[in-house]
Amino acid sequence: MVSSNLKIGVIGCGYWGPNLIRNCHELDGVSVTGVCDIRENRLQFISRQYPSLQLLTTSADEVIQSAITDAIIVSTPVSTHYELGQQVLKAGKHLLLEKPFTSTVDEAKKLIDTADKAGLCLMVDHTFVYTGAVKKIKELIDSGELGQLYYFDSTRVNLGLFQHDVNVVWDLAPHDVSIMDYLLGQIPRAIAATGMAHFDNRIENMAYISAYYDNNLLGHIHVNWLAPVKVRKTLISGSKKMVIYDDMEPSEKVKVYDRGVDISQDKEQIYRLLVQYRTGDMLAPNLDLTEALKGVSREFVTSIREPRAPLTGGEAGLRVVRILEAANRSMRRNGELVKLG
Amino acid sequence: MVSSNLKIGVIGCGYWGPNLIRNCHELDGVSVTGVCDIRENRLQFISRQYPSLQLLTTSADEVIQSAITDAIIVSTPVSTHYELGQQVLKAGKHLLLEKPFTSTVDEAKKLIDTADKAGLCLMVDHTFVYTGAVKKIKELIDSGELGQLYYFDSTRVNLGLFQHDVNVVWDLAPHDVSIMDYLLGQIPRAIAATGMAHFDNRIENMAYISAYYDNNLLGHIHVNWLAPVKVRKTLISGSKKMVIYDDMEPSEKVKVYDRGVDISQDKEQIYRLLVQYRTGDMLAPNLDLTEALKGVSREFVTSIREPRAPLTGGEAGLRVVRILEAANRSMRRNGELVKLG
Amino acid sequence: MVSSNLKIGVIGCGYWGPNLIRNCHELDGVSVTGVCDIRENRLQFISRQYPSLQLLTTSADEVIQSAITDAIIVSTPVSTHYELGQQVLKAGKHLLLEKPFTSTVDEAKKLIDTADKAGLCLMVDHTFVYTGAVKKIKELIDSGELGQLYYFDSTRVNLGLFQHDVNVVWDLAPHDVSIMDYLLGQIPRAIAATGMAHFDNRIENMAYISAYYDNNLLGHIHVNWLAPVKVRKTLISGSKKMVIYDDMEPSEKVKVYDRGVDISQDKEQIYRLLVQYRTGDMLAPNLDLTEALKGVSREFVTSIREPRAPLTGGEAGLRVVRILEAANRSMRRNGELVKLG
Amino acid sequence: MVSSNLKIGVIGCGYWGPNLIRNCHELDGVSVTGVCDIRENRLQFISRQYPSLQLLTTSADEVIQSAITDAIIVSTPVSTHYELGQQVLKAGKHLLLEKPFTSTVDEAKKLIDTADKAGLCLMVDHTFVYTGAVKKIKELIDSGELGQLYYFDSTRVNLGLFQHDVNVVWDLAPHDVSIMDYLLGQIPRAIAATGMAHFDNRIENMAYISAYYDNNLLGHIHVNWLAPVKVRKTLISGSKKMVIYDDMEPSEKVKVYDRGVDISQDKEQIYRLLVQYRTGDMLAPNLDLTEALKGVSREFVTSIREPRAPLTGGEAGLRVVRILEAANRSMRRNGELVKLG
């Protein structure tokens, strides 16, 4: 049973850590009690903002083992997720891991196994799943408003932040893959990917990923660190309606187009289809503007308390890692098709 | 030798034909003398606009053989290009073919051969090569202003005119492939493509094409008949500058970004690259607004008169068809890499 | 009674004339029979396109008096409208005048009077009233969907076409004023305007016009020949919904925002209003894409045939001229308020 | 003489206060020592973020009189600026006032007088003057690159935060007026304004302000709380080049258009001007992205230390208030011209 006041420890105070701390801090019956970072100056920065923090340390182990933490958020580079995750779960504590879940499918399976056996909550921070935009699109798909899905096409490009340890697929594509996984609710049959490392560090800075689903549903993702402007745009086409999700729009991020083609068989000429264009209204639905990390934090806490499986649990994390791993394998083999499961 | 007044016959008065007639008509020392279309109503439409036309016929052969034509423009479906083209050349007349050049590489080679032997002008209407936007980008590349090229990424999607005989690769991609061919000035080593036919006509309505060039230069094209809005956007990234070419912009179609990354080797840690971001001005150069078909017509006429090889002759047409053919082959084989000779 | 085939003469073949000829030409039971322009080359241009034209002349009088015309379209500079209009009506022929109707309120009244007495159709080409966009906005207003109207704000600026005889108010504002007149369906109480002539020709090249209506409804128009980009944007705000009409958008020209404020009286603090913001969906309705001049031509012909008053008859023309005249007067008096009768 | 460590007190912790505290806090040799707000919860909010704060109080007087403050930032509603400002200056402390400077021209003059006599720094937070965008435009104007200025046209509209005590002119226009004052570097001869209060609180929620400068330079500002989307757009036109400053653009906020008209006198027809259009490149210069309030804080501190007059001192504040006051007067008199100076 969870104590009425849930005490959370956070490991890693880079970009996401402080935002997760702030969002947890604002939840009722939740305290952030301990924080770890290997950089002293990040700890000082956090302590100035949260003077009530009980434990500030450069030792992850200390936060994990301390009696003042019930649950741990791990927001460190992906290469450390597996080891830290295992320690957290073995210490009997609930775990929220930053995306991507793990570096390999194997690691993902082992963490899920450990959490299952220990009866602990294991959640992955697939942030975009908690945005008003993605939730609205999910509603449109699940209600049948878009009809049968034809394709999902996502572009996430900008100038930068070259990573030294992971390529652009591990860095940017987890966003698109987790959105695609959530919205389509299916597992692709196969993955193919094309990428290029333009600098002699053998780390791909651009990539195109194709995901082949059943029923002719096609997924495609373009991620790129070497583009002059920031683009965050997804097209989703169904047999009834089509959606454009543009995360760079200040408002009207989701546009639903009542457009498409109506196909009928020409009775005379049996091999010829009759295609008619349909052009109707465009609707930009009002979106829930709550910060996505607020939803992430709330889901983590609620999943622990009820308890129940989180919306983006270990299995979702595994599905995403499986696609990322396959994309990397395909990319190294000149776009060869990699079958999943 | 060409008579001082060049007499042109046009076969096919669908979408492009009338525009080509108008543009030829406006050139000095050029007359459009004969026009062919299998639809009577199109001939009437043309004759109302050009009462001085000498020959209006439903027979292509008549236009080709008539003594009143020195050169022929063929603007019919691609499946007819080879036969008509051979007839034109064998009749000893210069030939301008609408894009795509031919349905197969074989056909392309044979037409080139026939024209060579007959010493006739053979040109392909790669329209976009004659736009102010593409000419300006070519200048930027050739002058070295963009530096070493990293990638060419083009998107051409809309809710579109489903074709009954050709797929989206043969319909839309000739534009992007001919632009890519002209701008990069290289032949890709290999092609891979992914496509999908969402209706039971086995005609792909969306496709992604990757072109692998030497020196890590990557080309990528997305063509799609099933998108809610019209997108015509190309990103070209070089080591010094990057270009966005957005043909849907009313003005400022070409934007040149003085942005990029500067890479240097970290002397201490030999395997680690130092990446620095560079963010400078963006320039949208003033573009030549002359209608592209005016340039096409002028190039055809000048190539005949001088005579000299046209900018987009049979060889350019062949290079484009080679890529389209490879893309189709790859698409039918689940994206398998297809090497180009 | 009108003959079953309506024969139309057109005076003036500048920018609008040929488009009006083409649109009339395409109507059933309508022929364009005679055309006048003082420039021989314009007549030749027209005759090439319409070889069946019976009369081509540089004399307006000839077209007006000829037995082959039942109705006349006058598409000449505004300074000539009154004289030509009177001649047409006195010749017993129906009249469609290009906007703006006349140069003065007096002229407008006299033309209306002449047409009334002769029982002839008098119509003004307020083109935008016949666009799908403006018709849709009119529907939204008339159905009460926007609620009580608060303001109409229109911007029409670009680099351009300096006129030698009329200022920017007479050149560009007739569009906005005729849209405002049609949509609001009211006559403003007073007009104020600010303008500036930046070149020593005393012809204002930019102006701001305010129109004061009853019930706190405010109209405002910005017209400008000296702007770097083309803007055609109108905001209309009502108590329930708001509209943005952007004519430069390739599609989605009209956007309806379910946004506003709800005002209630705070019972405790009698002088303090409670304002609550409402943010709902945005809808871009599908629009009728028929060319506006097709609607103009059809309205002219139908008004003659039935007969009935045209949607934009002499009275609409007069209301627009009254506002333009008042704006010019105010502009010359430093923005002094000019009351309308 | 100023102590080496400058100790700053802040009165008012609404929207701007905390941002000013943060920015001052980050400057070398500067401490924020005391903070006042009449709302206890705002004080708690601040104290959590800055545990080192020595004085937290609901009494403005306490912060002003305390020995731990050398300079005071007043970030409260404008109606309190005069009284608080006088107290600060009479306590011998330097003063930075949030915009707008004061409610009346009289108050502005008295504060300037008090500061002058006491030899204290008096500065107004005209935030936009310290943005990279406005600084870049100022450079373009001062260098002569735009040529002779023709007009300044600014639009600042959104659905928005209705104020209970001030109208939209006092709320939004201080931004545009302070930018216009800084960029044009001139005092307008006269002001005219049109406004409307659509709710029965007699507080105008929309207004158009015209500013008449010498040499046919015209300023125009549209501020509005009742618009469906947020617009922040300024056009500045000069005889050589034109600028569009769009603050809603994520990047490329400033675009410089090498466009315009070239006017020459037609020698034959003396009254007729020859106008030629010039269309050249568009340049979006790279902008300094430093937060504007960082520049504001630095300017305040530097002006105290050197000492020297701040870039936006009392005189700039007075010039802005003079225009706002005149606009309000004109608005209440149906747009009557109000002369300045």
Q: How does pLDDT run along chain C (341 residues), one tens digit per residue? A: 444 699 999 999 988 889 999 999 889 999 999 999 999 999 998 988 888 899 999 999 999 999 999 999 999 999 999 999 999 999 999 999 999 999 999 999 999 999 999 999 999 999 999 999 999 999 999 999 999 999 999 999 998 766 778 999 999 999 999 999 999 999 999 999 999 999 866 899 999 999 999 999 999 999 999 999 999 999 999 999 999 999 999 889 999 999 888 776 555 554 555 667 778 999 999 999 999 999 999 999 999 999 999 999 999 999 999 999 999 999 999 899 999 97
CATH number of B6-128+292-310: 3.40.50.720
Which range (A37-46, A236-245, D111-120, D187-196) has the least confidence? A37-46
- Shortest Cα distance from A242 to chain B (angstroms)? 6
Q: How much is the ipTM here? A: 0.93
Burial D3-42 (b: 16+ CB within 10 A, else e): eeebbbbbbbbeebbbbbbbbbbebeebbbbbbbbeeeeb
CATH 3.30.70.260 for the D6-128+292-322 domain, yes or no: no
From A231, which residue of chain D is nearest by alpha-carbon distance?
D250
Pairwise CB contact (< 8 Å): B284 & D286? no
What share of chain A in percent tops pLDDT 70?
94
Task: Report the chain A residue with the minimal C-alpha distance to residue B270.
Answer: A201
Stretch A195-207: mean pLDDT, rounded? 89
DSSP letters along A162-208, please?
--SSS-HHHHTHHHHHHHHHHHH-S--SEEEEEEE--STT---SEEE
Interface probe for A, chosen from D48, D52, D159, D248 (most Cβ of A below 10 Å), is: D48
Give the integer Cα–Cα distance in Å for B167 and B176: 15
**pLDDT at D37 (0 to 100):** 96
DSSP assignment letter at C187: -
Exposure pattern of A48-84 as b/e (b: 16+ CB <10 Å)? Answer: ebbeebebbbeebebbbebeebbbbbbbbebeebbeb
Report, at the CATH architecture level, how domain B132-288+323-339 is classified: 2-Layer Sandwich (3.30)
Write out chain B residues lying below 8 Å of A212, CB-based. 334
Residue D3 has pLDDT above 60, yes or no: no
Instruction: Verify whether the Cβ–Cβ distance A281 to C282 is below 8 Å.
Output: no
The number of residues making up chain A comes to: 341
What integer pLDDT is reported at residue C138 of this predicted model? 98
Q: Which of A254-258, A272-276, B178-182, C161-165 has the lowest mean pLDDT?
A: A272-276
* B45 to chain C: closest CA residue: C49
Who among A282, A285, A286 is closest to C284 (CB)? A282
pLDDT tens for residues D18-40?
999 999 988 999 999 999 999 99
The pLDDT of residue B258 is above 60:
yes
Nearest by CB to residue D49, choosing from A49, A229, A250, is A49
* A48 with D48: Cβ contact below 8 A: no
DSSP C121: -
Q: How far is residue D317's CA from residue D124's CA, in Å, rounded to a whole number?
A: 6
The residue of chain A nearest to residue D250, with distances taken between CA atoms, is A248
Nearest CA in chain D to B252: D282
Domain with CATH 3.30.360.10 in chain B: 132-288+323-339
Instruction: Give the one of B210, B227, B228 whose C-beta lies nearest to A208's C-beta.
Output: B210
Beta carbons of A284 and C286 less than 8 Å apart: no
CB contact under 8 A, A283 and C285: no
**Pairing verdict, β B226-238 and B242-246:** antiparallel
- Identify the pLDDT of residue C1: 40
Instruction: Measure C252 CA to nearest chain A CA, in Å.
Output: 8
Give the Cα separation of C130 and C261 in Å (integer). 32
Angle between helices D292-305 and D16-25 (to 10 degrees): 60
Is it the case that residue A1 has pLDDT exceeding 50? Answer: no
Mean pLDDT of the residues in chain B: 93
pLDDT of residue C275: 66
Tokens 């003033």, residue?
B286
Please give the helix or strand (H or E) that residue B319 lies within, else none.
Answer: helix B314-332
The continuous run of DSSP H or E covering C154 comes out as strand C149-159
Judged against a pLDDT cut of 90, whether residue A257 lies above it is answered with yes
What DSSP line would sit under A214-268, residue for residue? Answer: STT-EEEEEEESEEEEEEEEEEEEESS-EEEEETTSSS--EEEEEEEEEEEE-SS
For CATH 3.30.360.10, the residue range(s) in chain A are 129-289+323-339
Per-residue pLDDT tens for D70-85? Answer: 999 999 999 999 999 9
Which of D258, D279, D284 faces B282 most closely, judged by CB atoms?
A: D284
- Mean local confidence (pLDDT), A194-214: 92
Q: Which residue, among D140, D279, D286, would best test binding to B if mutated, counting the most B CBs under 10 Å from its CB?
A: D286
Lowest mean pLDDT among A211-220, B259-268, D269-278: D269-278
Q: What is the pLDDT of residue A2?
A: 44
The correct answer on CATH 3.30.360.10 for the domain covering A129-289+323-339 is: yes
Tell whether the model's pLDDT for residue B265 goes beyond 80: no
What residues of chain A lie within 8 A of the CB of C283, using their CB? 281-284
The subunits that touch chain D, with at least 3 C-beta pairs less than 8 Å apart, are: A, B, C
Asked whether the beta carbons of residue D250 and residue A248 sit closer than 8 angstroms, the reply is yes
Residues of A in contact with C282 (CB under 8 A): 252, 283-284
Residues of chain A in contact with residue B234, where contact means CB-CB under 8 angstroms, are none
Q: How far apart are CA A234 and CA A244, in angstroms?
A: 6
Site from D252, D253, D256 to mutate, B interface, most B CB atoms within 10 angstroms: D252
Tokens of B96: 């301008």
| Residue-wise burial string across C217-253, b where 16 or more C-beta atoms lie within 10 A, e elsewhere | bbbbbbbbbbbbbebbbbbbbbbbbbbbbbbeeeebb
Mean pLDDT of A136-160: 96
3-state secondary structure of C331: helix
Question: How many CB atoms lie under 10 A from the CB of residue B165?
Answer: 12
Residue B102 has pLDDT above 80, yes or no: yes
Between the alpha carbon of residue A336 and those of residues A195, A209, B77, B151, D25, the distances in Å are 12, 11, 34, 21, 56
Which one, of D160, D147, D174, D95, lies nearest residue D260 by Cα?
A: D147
Q: Tell me whether residues C286 and A258 touch, CB distance under 8 A.
A: yes
Instruction: Give the pLDDT mean for A99-105.
Output: 97
Identify from B145, B149, B196 which residue to disrupt to test chain A contact, counting A C-beta atoms within 10 A and taking the largest count. Answer: B196
CA distance A221 to A217: 14
Give the mean pLDDT of D41-69. 92
pLDDT at site B1 = 40
Q: Which residue of B has its CA nearest to C251?
A: B229
Contacts of C284 in chain A (CB under 8 A): 281-284
CATH 3.40.50.720 holds for A6-126+292-311? yes
Interface chains of chain B (3 or more CB pairs under 8 Å): A, C, D
What per-residue confidence (pLDDT) applies to D275? 66
| pLDDT, mean of residues B282-293 | 95
Query: Which of A120-134, B118-132, C39-53, C246-260 shows the lowest per-residue confidence on average (mean pLDDT)?
Result: C39-53
For C92-111, the DSSP string reads T-EEEEESS--SSHHHHHHH
A305-323 confidence digits (pLDDT tens):
999 999 999 999 999 999 9
Residues of chain D that touch chain B, judged by Cβ-Cβ distance less than 8 Å:
252, 258, 279-286
| Predicted local confidence at residue A237, as pLDDT | 97
Look at C162 and D222 and tell me if their CB atoms are within 8 Å: no
Chain A residues with CB under 8 Å of D251 CB are 229
- The class (CATH top level) of C135-288+323-339 is alpha beta
pLDDT score for D2: 44
Give how far B197 is from chain A: nearest CA, Å. 8
Nearest CB to C164; choose among D272, D282, D336: D272
pLDDT given at position B216: 95
- Chain A and chain B share a number of CB contacts under 8 A equal to 138
Angstrom distance (rounded) from CA B285 to CA B134? 12
Nearest CA in chain D to A49: D49
pLDDT attached to residue A268: 55
Give which of B125, B117, B130, B131 is closest to B89, Cα–Cα.
B117
* Residues B149/B332, Cβ–Cβ less than 8 Å: no
Highest CATH level, class, for C6-128+292-314: alpha beta
Backbone phi and psi for residue D156, each to the nearest 5 degrees, phi listed first: -135, 90
pLDDT of residue C178: 98
Nearest CB neighbour to D282, from listed B252, B258, B280: B252
Q: For CATH 3.40.50.720, list the domain ranges present in chain C.
A: 6-128+292-314
Residue of B nearest to A280 (CA): B228
CA distance A46 to chain D (A): 10
